[in-house]
Structures are given as structure tokens and as C-alpha cells.
């Protein structure tokens, strides 16, 4: 069964065809993607091998949808209802779903939710300390995101790090336009930096990451901003864009920093500070660390970010070998000699995980 995987991110669109053996046999990335252009999708589908099913990365299914689910009109309504919980993604995801339904009539479409991998988090990690009346009225808890990416890290990290190393405790850093860190124990998520929405946690390209909620209340009650203005600012005008200006692309930020741009320098330093802090927090949730993994567009391709993060984590036994780290762009062990924690680069594998989940879901409906 060949599965077309549609990954509509906040900025990009990634299309892949994955075969029965888990091999990516065709792929294309549209960067940036405006969220409503169909020609690239139609062209890719026309040139691709025969497609038997379509798997969509869906960021948020609300609290009702977590497991991979065959898409029907009711599921589409639930995904649309969760749009205010992931405003950078949901409309783009729905556009991708509607486009593939039109281009491939009769082919099953499956929604694979970012939150699925994190359903194993214990209550102590997923519970917000909010009034019980609120928690009784609404299912308010930490859901976590980038689940397919972190699940792939859990599946392959041991083979990259090598069998001679301890492998139970993995801290996985998915760094892209969105970013999160996950604590993985024996292959299961036990903590992560994102919460009820994909806004919590790390500094991202346009998203703020964690901010004092009292500050947000002040912006509305004391600063005179409307809730819509605050939401837009937190999702679209914050993060690296808010600190450095420009596109917020980490490659551009690094170039400007190297040229002496103070705003870009501060943006990079804030990003790294928060990343180190959250890696340390995930290590605390695990009671230690055996493997530190970097994946996602930034994590996989930018050795400068990996090196800067590792430079502040020596107390955890983390260190990278510059000669290996500087050139690593795919699966690689970049651990420095003598370091007690393995540091690895993992090729982004969301498509492989989504394809596998899609295949299982479709076959289950036919059994």
C-alpha cells in the first residue's frame, strides 16, 4: 500500500509517498506554501506512483480525536472546530484534506494527530493547576504536539546512537518553524514542552512559546489590547520574528548575527537559552539522560544550533564533536569522545510514522 503523506505545516507543505516497506519513494517540499495553492499538490499526485491511501498530519483534534482516524464529514467538522487551538495550522490542514479528496476520489484519507504519541504522559505531567470547576467543565490538560516526529526519534535513536550505549532515556528536540522537546522513557512520551495548544514551550519562528499569563492578562486589562490582537501577536508576530525582525528563518538569523546585527544576536541567544532550559527540564522528568536527539528542519540541518545548545549542557554529559556536527545533515552520531550522553541527529521521519499509522487504520477498517 503506497501512502501519500500530506504534512501542512505553519509555513511549509511537505508531500511524500511511502511504500509498504516504509521507504519514501517520492517527496517534495513547498517552502513557503501560502495555504491555498493546489497546483503543486496536483502536479505531485500526477507524477507520483499509484496512491492507495492518504495520511494527513493534523495538529489538533481537540480532546475528542487523538488516535489515527478515517476522515469523514464529522471528523472534518471536529478538526475545524479545533481551529482556534492551532490557528497557524488547522485551516491549511483542512485545505490539504479537501484537495486530496478532490484529486483522489474514493481513496481513504486518514487523520494522524500530533497529540497521539503523548497520550502516555502521566497525570503529573499533563495536569494544569487550574480551578477544579474549570477542569470539571472542560477537558483542560496538556496534550503535546509533534508526536509523529518524536515517535520516529523513539524508534530510531537507539540504532543511531549504537547498542553499546544506554538508550532508555531520550530527550527529543523537534526544531522547525514550530518546536518542542519531549522526554521519552522506554519508547513512551512522559513529558513535553507544548501543552493544550502548540503555543507553550520553546521560542519558535513566529510563536512566543511560554509567556507569563499575568503579562497576557495585563495586555488585555491594562494595555488595552483585544483578545484577538493578543492571539495574533503571540502566534504570528512573536518568536524569532518578534525579536529579530525579518522572516524569522533561523538561517537568516544566524547570518545576521554573524554580521553583527544585535537584534539577531539577542534572538539567537534567547532561543538557545530557552532550548537548554527545556532540555534540562525534560531530563529532570526522566531522572537523567542517555540520548539527546535533534530533528526537524533546524535540528537536522543547523549544526550551529546543536553546538550552541550542547555548549551549555556539559553538566549533563553532553558534548558534540565539531568535525562531525558541522557536516551532519541526516542520521548521525555527533557525540564528542568522552561524553557520557549520546548526541545524535535524526532525519525527520514524520512521513514514515504517519504512513504506518495510515496503513494500520485503513487495513483495520477492511478487516
CA distance 231 to 248: 18
72: number of Cβ within 10 Å: 10
Question: Which triple of cell numbers denotes residue 301?
Answer: 540541518
pTM: 0.93
Find, among 187, 110, 61, 166, the residue nearest to 359 by Cα. 110
CA distance 78 to 84: 12
pLDDT at 161: 96
272 φ/ψ sector (left φ>0, alpha ψ -120 to 50, else beta):
alpha
**Matching fold, domains 3-142 and 164-345:** yes
CA distance 91 to 66: 18
Which residues are CB-neighbours of 152 under 8 A, at least 6 positions away? Answer: 295, 346, 348, 349, 350, 352, 353
Task: Please give the average pLDDT of every successive group of 10 residues along the chain, which has 367 residues.
Answer: 92 92 92 85 93 94 86 94 84 94 96 94 98 95 95 96 90 97 98 96 98 97 96 97 96 98 98 98 98 97 98 97 97 97 96 96 86
The domain 164-345 is classified under which CATH number: 3.30.559.10, 3.40.50.300, 3.50.50.60, 3.30.420.40?
3.30.420.40
Question: Which triple of cell numbers denotes residue 117?
Answer: 504519541
Where in the chain are the domains? Answer: 3-142, 164-345
Residue 326 among the catalytic residues: no
Catalytic residue among 114, 191, 249, 290: 114
pLDDT at 365: 85
Cis previous bond, 86, omega within 30: no
Task: Determine the topology of domain 3-142 in CATH.
Answer: Nucleotidyltransferase; domain 5 (3.30.420)
pLDDT at 367: 66
Reduce the DSSP state of residue 17 to 3 states and report it. strand
Question: Which triple of cell numbers denotes residue 34?
Answer: 501560502
CA distances from 43 to 106, 240, 339, 363 (A): 19, 33, 47, 28
E strand map for the chain? 3-8, 13-18, 24-30, 53-58, 69-70, 109-113, 169-175, 179-185, 188-192, 291-295, 332-333, 342-345
Cα dihedral 138→126→8→184 (10° resolution): -160
Task: Decide the pairing of beta strands 179-185 and 169-175.
Answer: antiparallel
CA distance 113 to 147: 8
Amino acid at each position: 500500500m503506497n501512502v501519500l503523506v500530506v504534512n501542512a505545516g505553519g509555513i511549509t507543505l511537505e508531500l511524500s509517498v511511502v511504500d509498504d516497506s516504509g521507504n519514501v519513494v517520492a517527496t517534495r517540499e513547498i517552502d513557503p506554501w501560502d495555504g491555498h495553492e493546489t497546483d503543486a499538490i496536483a502536479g505531485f499526485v500526477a507524477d507520483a506512483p499509484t496512491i492507495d491511501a492518504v495520511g494527513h498530519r493534523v495538529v489538533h483534534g481537540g480532546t475528542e480525536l487523538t488516535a489515527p482516524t478515517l476522515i469523514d464529514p464529522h471528523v472534518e467538522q471536529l478538526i475545524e472546530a479545533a481551529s482556534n487551538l492551532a490557528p497557524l495550522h488547522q485551516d491549511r490542514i483542512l485545505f490539504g484534506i479537501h484537495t486530496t479528496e478532490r484529486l483522489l476520489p474514493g481513496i481513504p484519507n486518514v487523520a494522524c494527530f500530533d497529540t497521539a504519541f503523548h497520550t502516555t504522559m502521566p497525570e503529573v505531567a499533563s495536569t494544569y493547576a487550574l480551578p477544579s470547576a474549570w477542569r470539571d467543565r472542560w477537558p483542560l490538560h496538556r496534550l503535546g504536539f509533534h508526536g509523529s516526529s518524536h515517535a520516529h526519534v523513539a524508534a530510531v535513536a537507539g540504532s543511531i546512537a549504537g547498542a553499546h550505549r544506554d538508550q532508555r532515556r531520550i530527550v527529543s528536540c523537534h526544531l522547525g518553524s514550530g518546536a518542542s522537546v519531549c522526554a521519552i522513557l522506554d519508547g513512551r512520551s512522559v513529558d513535553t514542552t507544548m501543552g493544550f495548544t502548540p503555543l507553550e514551550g520553546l521560542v519558535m519562528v513566529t510563536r512566543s512559546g511560554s509567556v507569563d499569563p499575568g503579562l497576557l492578562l495585563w495586555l488585555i486589562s491594562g494595555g488595552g489590547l483585544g483578545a484577538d490582537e493578543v492571539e495574533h501577536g503571540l502566534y504570528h508576530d512573536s518568536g524569532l520574528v518578534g525579536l529579530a525582525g525579518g522572516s524569522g528563518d533561523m538561517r537568516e538569523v544566524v547570518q545576521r548575527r554573524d554580521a553583527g546585527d544585535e537584534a539577531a544576536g539577542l534572538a539567537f541567544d534567547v532561543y538557545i537559552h530557552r532550548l537548554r532550559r527545556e532540555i534540562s527540564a525534560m531530563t529532570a522528568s526522566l531522572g537523567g539522560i542517555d540520548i539527546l536527539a535533534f530533528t526537524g528542519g533546524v535540528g537536522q540541518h543547523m549544526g550551529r544550533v546543536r553546538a550552541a545548545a550542547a555548549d551549555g549542557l556539559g553538566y549533563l554529559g553532553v558534548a558534540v564533536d565539531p568535525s562531525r556536527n558541522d557536516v551532519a545533515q541526516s542520521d548521525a552520531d555527533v557525540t564528542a569522545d568522552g561524553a557520557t550522553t549520546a548526541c545524535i541527529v535524526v532525519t525527520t521521519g514524520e512521513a514514515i510514522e504517519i504512513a504506518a499509522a495510515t496503513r494500520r487504520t485503513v487495513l483495520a477498517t477492511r478487516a
